[in-house]
Amino acid sequence: MKISVVLLSLSLVLLGAAAPAAAAGEKLRLGYLRSDLHHLAAWVGIEKGFFRDEGLDVETAGIFNAGAEEMSAFASKSIDVGYLGMAPSVTGVANRAASVKAEALANAEGSAIVVRADSPLHQVKDLAGKTVAIPGFASVQDFLLRRALEAAGLEAGAVKIIVVKPPEMITALEASQIDAFIAWEPHASKAVTKGVGRVLLPSSQIWKGHPCCVVAFEGSVAHDRPAVVQSFLKAHARATAFILANTDEAVRIGVQYTGMDEKTVRMALGNITYRSELERAPVREYASYLGRLGYIKETDPDAILRDYIDPAGLVKDARP
């Protein structure tokens, strides 16, 4: 498990000093992805009472299989705040499908390309002509796979890319219905601990330190309830710091919310960087890449950033 202690400490100090307090009992409807260990800070915040400590009544209003589903919930205004992948949230904003404001980072890294344990595939270039599953188009994992293929000198068309829900990927791999998959944790680690899969390439080697999931608010909530947003961010930063300082408890909560065994969750945590500050430069790179793929209508990355990132959130321009 990797985390930036200095950044988290600074975030907590700044939020505590500058943020107005939310009124007691402020209700927020929360969404996150099913069994996505990247969203551990949300579960820690619920289980340890960090949201309640900030005067928030956080209700889980949606558990989704993919970021695109969660963006639909934002569009219908059935959730107020969500943990989800940066790529689908950027895509939704750029396509004017929903109004959301990214306020903080949930995690960096934490995905992997996985092949069968007995697979003869040992390099990304070996995927040529093979079938690779992703959790969804315009997902972070879609972006990472295409980036890895480019780095290996392959066009995206050199492999057959299909969409499979992460909980079904391991079964599909074991049955040889697919040759590889790329998924978020703990699905990659579960393939390994189950003896079905082997990590071909972790996402940290595809794009070191890459942002993955964000904390985003529905646009009108971000605009009309700034005190509530800041209180939530304070709890989020506190939960992120807790994960580093209390590994065993973080593992226990991860097991509780993913339904996976302790060995898998502990292994998966070692592949995830928990950090709360969101950086503009990588978001801009995502937006530019999504434009080149034809996933978004608005192709000016600076215009997308103006609509997508809330400067009042946990945002900075570059790494120190």
Biggest distance spanned by C-alpha atoms of the chain: 58
Q: Please write the tens of the pLDDT for every residue from 115-133.
A: 999 999 999 999 999 999 9
Q: Please write the tens of the pLDDT for every residue from 230-272.
A: 999 999 999 999 999 999 999 999 999 999 999 999 999 999 9
pLDDT of amino acid 238:
98
User: In terms of CATH, what superfamily is 111-206?
Assistant: Periplasmic binding protein-like II (3.40.190.10)
Q: Are strands 100-109 and 160-163 parallel, antiparallel or unpaired?
A: unpaired
CATH fold for the domain made of 2-109+209-316: D-Maltodextrin-Binding Protein; domain 2 (3.40.190)
pLDDT of amino acid 106:
98
In which residue ranges of the chain is pLDDT below 50? 3-7, 9-10, 12-14, 17, 319-320
What is the 3 state secondary structure string of the chain? CEECHHHHHHHHHHHHHHCCCCCCCEEEEEEEECCCHHHHHHHHHHHCCHHHHCCEEEEEEEEECCHHHHHHHHHCCCCCEEEEEHHHHHHHHHCCCCCEEEEEEEEEECEEEEEECCCCCCCHHHHCCCEEEECCCCCHHHHHHHHHHHHCCCCHHHCEEEECCHHHHHHHHHCCCCCEEEEECCHHHHHHHCCCEEEEEEHHHHCCCCEEEEEEEEHHHHHHCHHHHHHHHHHHHHHHHHHHHCHHHHHHHHHHHHCCCHHHHHHHHCCEEECCCEEHHHHHHHHHHHHHHCCCCCCCHHHHHHHHECCCCCEECCCC
pLDDT of amino acid 139:
87
pLDDT of amino acid 11:
52
Spans of all domains in the chain: 2-109+209-316, 111-206
pLDDT of amino acid 6:
38
Q: Count the alpha carbons within 13 Å of 133 in the hemisphere toward its beta carbon.
A: 26
pLDDT of amino acid 317:
75
User: What is the CB neighbour count within 10 angstroms for residue 119?
Assistant: 17
Task: State the pTM of this model.
Answer: 0.90
